[in-house]
Amino acid sequence: MSERALSPSRLATYATCPRQYDYGYVQDVNTPDRTELYLNQGTIYHETIEDVCDATERDDDPEAIHDRAMRVFDAKWDEHSNPDDYESNAHRAYQRAENRAAIDAFFDPDGGDGIKHARRSVATEVWVECEIDGRALHGKADNVIRTDDGLHVFDYKRNTRGVLSNGTAERLADHLDGEAHEPKRARNAFQTATYVEGVKNEPFYEDGMTVRFSFYGLLNSTSFESTPDSYEVSVRGYPRETTDIYADHYDTIRALIREAHDGITGEAYAPEPFDVIGDEACPDCDYREMCPDRLSTEVRR
The tens digit of pLDDT for each residue in 89-101 reads 988 898 999 999 9
Strand 231-241 to 210-226 pairing: antiparallel
Torsion of CA 130, 132, 136, 139, to 10 degrees: -50
With a CB cutoff of 8 Å and minimum separation 6, the contacts of 7 are: 137, 138, 139, 194
The pLDDT of residue 116: 98
Answer whether residue 295 shows pLDDT above 90. Answer: no
pLDDT: is 192 or 297 the higher one?
Answer: 192
Please list the residues that pair with 212 across neighbouring strands.
Answer: 152
**Mean per-residue pLDDT for 283-299?**
78
Least confident of 32-36, 279-283, 287-291: 32-36
Helix H or strand E segment including 185: helix 183-199
**Mean per-residue pLDDT for 230-242?**
92
Give burial (CB, 10 Å; 0-12/13-18/19+) of 144.
Answer: buried
Q: What is the pTM of this model?
A: 0.91
The pLDDT of residue 34: 54
Q: How far is CA 120 from the centre of its chain?
A: 21
**Mean per-residue pLDDT for 231-252?**
95
Helix H or strand E segment including 210: strand 210-226
Q: How many angstroms separate the Cα of 23 from the Cα of each of 13, 27, 272?
A: 11, 5, 16
Q: What is the DSSP string of 8-30?
A: HHHHHHHHH-HHHHIIIIIS---
**Mean per-residue pLDDT for 184-188?**
97
Distance from C-alpha of 86 to C-alpha of 93, rounded to nearest angstrom: 9
Distance from C-alpha of 221 to C-alpha of 225, rounded to nearest angstrom: 14
Tell me: the pLDDT tens digits for 58-78?
Answer: 999 999 999 999 999 999 999
Determine what percent of the chain is predicted with pLDDT higher than 70. 95
Give burial (CB, 10 Å; 0-12/13-18/19+) of 168.
Answer: middle
CATH domain 8-285 topology = Lambda Exonuclease; Chain A (3.90.320)
Distance from C-alpha of 40 to C-alpha of 17, rounded to nearest angstrom: 27
Strand 135-146 to 150-157 pairing: antiparallel
Tell me: the pLDDT tens digits for 150-181?
Answer: 999 999 999 999 999 999 999 999 999 999 99
Give the DSSP letter of residue 84. G
Report residue 297's pLDDT band, with 50, 70 and 90 as the boundaries.
low
Report residue 290's pLDDT band, with 50, 70 and 90 as the boundaries.
confident
**Mean per-residue pLDDT for 191-196?**
98
**Mean per-residue pLDDT for 227-256?**
93
Answer whether residue 299 shows pLDDT above 70. Answer: no
Answer whether residue 24 shows pLDDT above 60. Answer: yes
Helix H or strand E segment including 226: strand 210-226
> Are 2 and 134 a contacting pair, CB within 8 Å?
yes
Query: Within a 10 A sphere around the Cβ of 183, how many other Cβ atoms?
Result: 22
Helices (H), 62-138: 62-80, 89-106, 113-119
The pLDDT of residue 300: 42
Tell me: the pLDDT tens digits for 105-153?
Answer: 999 999 999 999 999 999 999 999 999 999 999 999 999 999 999 999 9
Give the DSSP letter of residue 135. E
> Are 234 and 223 a contacting pair, CB within 8 Å?
yes
Residue type, 175: H
**Mean per-residue pLDDT for 265-276?**
90
Answer whether residue 2 shows pLDDT above 50. Answer: no
The pLDDT of residue 301: 44
Closest CA to 65 of 125, 19, 122, 106: 106
The pLDDT of residue 3: 62
The pLDDT of residue 150: 98
Answer whether residue 27 shows pLDDT above 80. Answer: yes
Answer whether residue 288 shows pLDDT above 80. Answer: yes
Report residue 298's pLDDT band, with 50, 70 and 90 as the boundaries.
low
Distance from C-alpha of 160 to C-alpha of 292, rounded to nearest angstrom: 35
**From the DSSP assignment, how many helices (H) and strands (E) are in the chain?**
12, 5
Mean pLDDT of the chain: 92
> Are 16 and 281 a contacting pair, CB within 8 Å?
yes
